[in-house]
Structure formats: C-alpha cells, structure tokens
Amino acid sequence: MGNLKLVYFDIDGARGEAARLAMAIGGVGFDDDRVKFADWGSRKAGTPFGALPVLERNGQAVAQSNGINRYVGKLAGLYPDDAWQAALCDEAMDAVEEIATKVWATMPLPAPEKKAQRESLAAGPLSYSLDRLQQRLLAHGGHYFADGRLTVADLKVFVWIRHLRSGQLDHVPVDLPDRVAPQLVAHHDRVKEHPAVKAYYAGRNVAL
C-alpha cells in the first residue's frame, strides 16, 4: 500500500477523523500529519483544492474526505466489496457531508447571522437530516449503515454525532440528536465502545 500520510488539522474530529479511525481500527500504518491552524496559510496552496484532508501515498496526494474514506476503508477492511452495499455506505457518508457542509459554512459569519442561520438549520435541515439518517440506519437493521457490519459510514456518522453533542457548535442544541434521532445516539454509543475505537482515543488522551 506504500507510505501513507494523512494531512489534516490538529483536531480529533471533523472531516479527517473517520479516515484516521479507519486506519487505526484496520491496523493500516500512516503518518498522522496534524496541521496547526497557524501553519495552514503556508500549506494551503500546496494542497489539491486548498483544503484538508489530503491523503498522500508515496508522495502523491489525493483530496476529498469521502473519497479518502473509501480508499482507506478498502485498505482497512471497512468498506463493502458488494457494489450495492458500497452505495449504501456512500449514501450515509454523503448525507453527513451534505448537512455538515451547511453547518460548517456558518463558521465565518458575524455573530448575529451565525446565530440566526444555526438556529434555522437546527430547526429545519439538520433535524430533517438526523431523522432521515436514523431511518436509513433502522431500514438496514438498526446497527450498521451497510454490509451488516462496521464500515467507514458508521465512523463518519459517529464523528458527526459526537461533534453535534459536544457543545462546540453554539446555537445548535447539544441534545438535538438525542431528541430527534435517539437511535443514532445509540449507534454512536456502540461505535464508541468498539475496542479499537476506545484504544485509539485512550492513546490520544481524548475523552469520549
């Protein structure tokens, strides 16, 4: 598989986290290049689309988080071989990406606009998306999003639910997932208890 380097910000969440987790769970060795925000200005132009995450393999780069998740998911044994199950796995990852992009787009807004937009997202599209994701989980048996087993889709949804419940997003109620999609919270709690997930965060001194 060559020498892998995942380049992402020095945070234990967001768009780079599912790939880190997948490689940790699958025992895929990689260089975890954590970019400090202060250094981003000097590194941005060198990335394919001026954004992170980027995965490098033997010095060549590929961008776009869900494509990276698919690639490392295959290496880690956490991406379905079956084409239909793979489409279900992609569906959940793209659904998270779609709504997370809307929520994160509010970050640079001035305070009053940020508050208004986040409250409106929480009451509308974000609640809708959580409800629909929960329905998709239940439609596939309630435990996993695809293939009847842990895949990168479960990791991406886990990271998203953890973020929503973390209190890091002002004006998005921390109990929104618990109220709107309790089965996604139960799913989050199951993924959290996966021995390799627990070991990964224990190794990073991150409380779950």
Ligand X SMILES: N[C@@H](CCC(=O)N[C@@H](CS)C(=O)NCC(=O)O)C(=O)O
Minimum distance from CB of 50 to ligand X (Å)?
6
Only one of the segments 51-59, 74-82, 86-94, 107-115 lies at the binding site for ligand X (rule: CB under 6 A); that segment is 51-59
Kindly state whether residue 162 participates in binding ligand X, applying the rule CB under 6 A: no
Parallel, antiparallel, or unpaired for β 4-9 and 60-63? unpaired
Binding mask 67-106 for ligand X (x = CB under 6 A): ------------------------------x---------
Give the residue with the Cβ less far from ligand X, 66 or 134. 66
Give every strand in the sheet of 31-35, ordered side by side. 31-35, 4-9, 54-57, 60-63
Kindly state whether residue 14 participates in binding ligand X, applying the rule CB under 6 A: yes
Minimum distance from CB of 87 to ligand X (Å)?
18
CB-neighbour burial class of residue 97 (10 A; exposed 0-12, middle 13-18, buried 19+): middle
Kindly state whether residue 149 participates in binding ligand X, applying the rule CB under 6 A: no
Out of 44, 149, 198, 204, point to the residue binding ligand X (CB under 6 A): 44
What's the rounded Cα separation, in Å, for the pair 64 and 97? 11
Kindly state whether residue 52 participates in binding ligand X, applying the rule CB under 6 A: yes
Give the residue with the Cβ less far from ligand X, 65 or 106. 65
Give the residue with the Cβ less far from ligand X, 14 or 150. 14
Out of 64, 115, 190, 208, point to the residue binding ligand X (CB under 6 A): 64
Give the residue with the Cβ less far from ligand X, 65 or 127. 65
Give the residue with the Cβ less far from ligand X, 44 or 198. 44
Kindly state whether residue 109 participates in binding ligand X, applying the rule CB under 6 A: no
Kindly state whether residue 51 participates in binding ligand X, applying the rule CB under 6 A: yes
Q: Give the Å distances, CA to CA, from 78 to 8, 50, 103.
A: 20, 28, 27
The binding site for ligand X (CB under 6 A) comprises 14-15, 44, 50-53, 64-65, 97
